């Protein structure tokens, strides 16, 4: 009887484990699926708020950058995009607005207005809305499974990940390389990343917020300099239908040949 009871108990435990494993997801799987769902949306509205604080020898300035993005029919032949970026520096503010359809990219920047074919724009590396996917990256599974988690009554799950320099460089490798190329010949002697923290909010199967903060340390002309980058990306009501209307005034911009 004891053997039968033990066998039955073992079977119950096995069935329970299989059932649980089939209906639950690891943190990494949950975030990965939410990221995939968000990146595959055909309609999207998002806002990225980026603060870059530069400090050296007791002096610091903060440069805020705000990017608003809307996309309709993303990934289709009838895609339309809208992007507005505003950068505020001491004593000045610079903004650029772009619209795009299947044929043209329309740009208004600092009083300069033009349109360029989407083919030429791609050759120039112009891709409205690319900032959203530049920010949202799939993190290493080990880092996500070790993340802290907060749950809220509205269904939000917020994961906070402390990333070491190796994981950060691997996850954002193209941005790291691009930064290295952009500072070439400027007197900057290399740079390192520290204190990287990524906070991801998942709700209703989508990423609703993707925030990160990190510190860049470097040396400029022999002087140590720190930059703290704080990025807050919000996906507004993911899954909603978004309409992008291109103003007629933009369609009338003069054509720029590349």
Query: 151 in a domain, yes or no?
Result: yes
Q: Please state the pTM of the whole predicted model.
A: 0.82
Closest to 121 (Cα-Cα) out of 134, 110, 107: 107
**Per-residue confidence band for 15, with pLDDT thresholds at 50, 70 and 90:** very low
- Please report the pLDDT score of residue 124 as a whole number: 65
Query: 235 in a domain, yes or no?
Result: yes
Share of the chain above pLDDT 90, in %: 41
Query: CB–CB of 115/104 below 8 Å?
Result: yes
Side by side, which strands form the sheet with 59-72?
A: 112-117, 104-109, 92-100, 80-89, 59-72, 43-56, 223-235, 206-220, 188-203, 157-163, 148-151
**Among the ranges given (13-17, 94-98, 127-131, 210-214), the one the predictor scored with the smallest mean pLDDT:** 13-17
User: What is the extent of the structural domain holding 152?
Assistant: 25-251
* Backbone angles phi and psi of 149, in degrees to 5: -135, 140
- Please report the pLDDT score of residue 60 as a whole number: 85
Query: 9 in a domain, yes or no?
Result: no
Based on the structure, what is the number of domains in the chain? 1
* Residue-wise pLDDT tens digits, 200-251: 999 999 999 999 998 888 887 778 888 888 999 999 999 999 999 999 999 9
- Please report the pLDDT score of residue 180 as a whole number: 64
Query: 95 in a domain, yes or no?
Result: yes
**Per-residue confidence band for 97, with pLDDT thresholds at 50, 70 and 90:** very high
Query: 18 in a domain, yes or no?
Result: no
Query: 79 in a domain, yes or no?
Result: yes
- Please report the pLDDT score of residue 257 as a whole number: 75
Query: Is a pLDDT exceeding 50 seen at residue 1?
Result: no
Give the mean pLDDT of 34-40: 92
Query: Is a pLDDT exceeding 70 seen at residue 6?
Result: no
Query: 37 in a domain, yes or no?
Result: yes
Q: Kindly report the CATH number assigned to the domain that includes residue 55.
A: 2.50.20
In the block, residue with structure tokens 């066998």:
7
**Per-residue confidence band for 182, with pLDDT thresholds at 50, 70 and 90:** low
* Residue-wise pLDDT tens digits, 102-159: 899 999 998 899 999 988 877 666 666 566 777 888 888 888 888 899 999 999 999 9
Average pLDDT score over the chain? 82
Query: Is a pLDDT exceeding 70 seen at residue 4?
Result: no
Cα 136 from Cα 46, distance rounded (Å): 12
- Please report the pLDDT score of residue 11 as a whole number: 39
Give the mean pLDDT of 32-38: 93
Query: Is a pLDDT exceeding 80 seen at residue 192?
Result: no
Query: 179 in a domain, yes or no?
Result: yes
């Amino acid at each position: 009887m004891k053997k039968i009871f033990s066998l039955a108990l073992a079977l119950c435990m096995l069935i329970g484990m299989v059932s649980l494993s089939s209906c639950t997801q690891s943190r990494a799987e949950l975030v990965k699926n939410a990221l995939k769902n968000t990146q595959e949306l055909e309609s999207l509205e998002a806002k990225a708020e980026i603060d870059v604080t530069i400090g050296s020898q007791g002096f610091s300035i903060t440069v805020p950058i705000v990017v608003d993005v809307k996309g309709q029919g993303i990934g289709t032949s009838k895609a339309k995009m809208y992007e507005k970026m505003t950068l505020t520096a001491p004593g000045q503010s610079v903004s650029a607005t772009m619209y795009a359809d299947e044929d043209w990219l329309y740009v208004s920047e600092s009083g300069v207005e033009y349109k360029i074919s989407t083919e030429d724009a791609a050759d120039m590396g112009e891709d409205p809305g690319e900032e959203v996917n530049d920010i949202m990256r799939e993190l290493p599974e080990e880092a996500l499974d070790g993340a802290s988690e907060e749950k809220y009554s509205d269904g939000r799950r917020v994961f906070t990940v402390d990333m070491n320099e190796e994981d950060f460089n691997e996850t954002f490798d193209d941005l790291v390389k691009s930064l290295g190329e952009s500072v070439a010949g400027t007197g900057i002697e290399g740079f390192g990343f520290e204190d990287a923290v990524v906070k991801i909010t998942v709700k209703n199967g989508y990423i609703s917020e993707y925030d990160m903060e990190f510190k860049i340390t470097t040396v400029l002309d022999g002087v140590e300099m720190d930059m703290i980058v704080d990025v807050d990306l919000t996906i507004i009501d993911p899954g909603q239908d978004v309409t992008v209307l291109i103003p007629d005034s933009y369609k009338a911009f003069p054509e720029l040949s590349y």
